[in-house]
């Protein structure tokens, strides 16, 4: 396996078509870090992260700063020594899972290219099923959310994700308005983004128990994970751990506590594909289903997430819609979206996605 010779870090800023609003706040543009890794034999791997301040405590600026230190530490290592690379990164600095995920993706890209295999096949997966994403309704007034949900269904999406986490009575009205607008057959997924207290969560989830909801993501603050089992046992709706499950160690603890029914895996939380696969392995052992989600990454990082989704039958849900919210697409290749939210992956060796050359200006180079 070739040694790593050079890294380049690029700051990516792309406006959104409309504000993306959750209980954690509103976003109007994407601020990501793109990584290009070059091996001594000339192979190039790409990675990306979208630092999400309220969840992983990282910003674009910290990603660029920490990324320089990580790059210096990894220069000269074999591109395929991914577990060793994680050990080096974790010894160097605690946390910073977002920027670490960009390095992880880029190293996997090089390793899969070296093997002459698409990334999902390199990871032991196969394109044995369709990947279908939901589409998200931002938090807002019930009437606005209902109108947005109606538009999403008219566009052919088969599942609607709904951002909640406000006052319980208002959240119940939001879902009721959406159901009135789109009818009962279209499944919903709800996400409180830690917005409720345990008791509020129990009240809301029971009020929505017959609303054809597949699951509820992170109903309560992540630091209250010891209360999550109580919410789960009182809820008619399956509970999905998101912010309370960053890596495989969190997953192991939540399984031991019986705290949740499902996991939402994001590469920017887990630190990349390597640790995400460890979460999936634990879920498989526990007979749990998982969702592959993310932050507001471009199609570059989402292509890695989609490859991951094809590595296990435990992956039953895809929440991969955010590139459709971008005002422009900065990526060459990568995943494509078809009618009904059906996702198509490239079959080229490696990741199959790269940053558009027009966006490759002003990078930070580490050799």
pLDDT digits (tens, 9 = 90+) for 5-22: 999 999 999 999 999 999
Q: Tokens 């160097």 sit at which residue?
A: 92
Q: What is the pLDDT of residue 278?
A: 98
- Catalytic residue of the set 266, 289, 297, 321: 266
CATH 3.20.20.120 residue ranges of the chain are: 121-354
Establish whether 90 is a catalytic residue. no
Q: What is the pLDDT of residues 40-54, one digit of tens each?
A: 999 999 999 999 999
Which residues, including other chains, have CB under 8 Å from residue 173's CB and lie 6 or more apart?
142
Q: Which fold has domain 4-117+357-366?
A: Enolase-like; domain 1 (3.30.390)
Cβ neighbours, 10 Å, residue 153: 19
CATH 3.30.390.10 residue ranges of the chain are: 4-117+357-366
Establish whether 191 is a catalytic residue. yes
pLDDT of 64 over the 90 cut: yes
Establish whether 41 is a catalytic residue. no
Q: What is the pLDDT of residue 144?
A: 97
- Catalytic residue of the set 100, 161, 163, 275: 163
Q: Element (H or E) spanning 343, and its range?
A: strand 342-344
- 326 close to 347: Cβ distance less than 8 angstroms: no
Cα–Cα dist 332/356, whole Å: 5
- Catalytic residue of the set 191, 243, 247, 321: 191
Q: What is the pTM of this model?
A: 0.96
Q: What is the mean pLDDT of the chain?
A: 96
CATH 2.60.120.260 at 121-354, yes or no: no
Mean pLDDT of 186-195: 97
Three-state DSSP at 231 gives helix
- Catalytic residue of the set 8, 134, 242, 247: 242
Mean pLDDT of 75-83: 96
Q: Tokens 């793109």 sit at which residue?
A: 34
pLDDT of 128 over the 90 cut: no
Indicate the DSSP class of residue 133: B
Q: Tokens 């543009």 sit at which residue?
A: 29
């Amino acid at each position: 396996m070739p040694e790593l010779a050079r890294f380049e870090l690029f700051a990516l800023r792309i406006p959104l078509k409309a504000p993306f609003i959750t209980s954690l706040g509103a976003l109007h543009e994407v601020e990501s870090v793109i990584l290009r890794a070059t091996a001594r034999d000339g192979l190039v791997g790409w990675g990306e992260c979208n630092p999400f301040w309220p969840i992983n405590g990282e910003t674009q600026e910290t990603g660029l700063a920490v990324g320089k230190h990580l790059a210096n530490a990894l220069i000269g290592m074999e591109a395929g020594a991914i577990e060793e690379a994680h050990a080096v990164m974790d010894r160097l600095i605690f946390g910073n899972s977002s920027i670490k995920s960009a390095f992880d993706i880029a190293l996997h890209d090089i390793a899969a290219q070296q093997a002459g295999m698409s990334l999902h096949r390199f990871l032991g997966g196969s394109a044995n099923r369709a990947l279908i994403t939901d589409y998200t309704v931002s938090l807002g007034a019930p009437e606005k959310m209902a109108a947005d949900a109606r538009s999403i269904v008219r566009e052919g999406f088969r599942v609607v994700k709904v951002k909640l986490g406000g006052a319980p009575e208002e959240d119940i009205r939001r879902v009721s308005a959406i159901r009135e607008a789109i009818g009962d057959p279209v499944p919903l997924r709800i996400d409180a983004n830690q917005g409720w207290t345990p008791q509020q969560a129990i009240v809301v989830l029971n009020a929505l128990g017959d609303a054809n909801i597949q699951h509820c993501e992170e109903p309560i603050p992540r630091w209250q994970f010891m209360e999550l089992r109580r919410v789960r046992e009182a809820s008619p709706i399956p509970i999905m751990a998101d912010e309370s499950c960053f890596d495989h160690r969190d997953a192991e603890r939540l399984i031991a506590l019986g705290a949740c029914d499902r996991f939402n895996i994001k590469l920017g939380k887990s630190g990349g594909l390597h640790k995400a696969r460890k979460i999936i392995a634990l879920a498989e052992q526990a007979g749990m289903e998982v969702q592959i989600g993310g932050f507001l990454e471009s199609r570059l990082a989402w292509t890695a997430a989609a490859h991951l989704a094809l590595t296990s039958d435990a992956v039953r849900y895809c929440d991969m819609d955010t590139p459709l919210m971008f005002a422009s697409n900065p990526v060459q290749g990568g995943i494509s979206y078809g009618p009904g939210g059906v996702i198509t992956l490239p079959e080229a060796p490696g990741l199959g996605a790269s940053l558009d050359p027009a966006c490759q200006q002003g990078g930070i180079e580490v050799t």
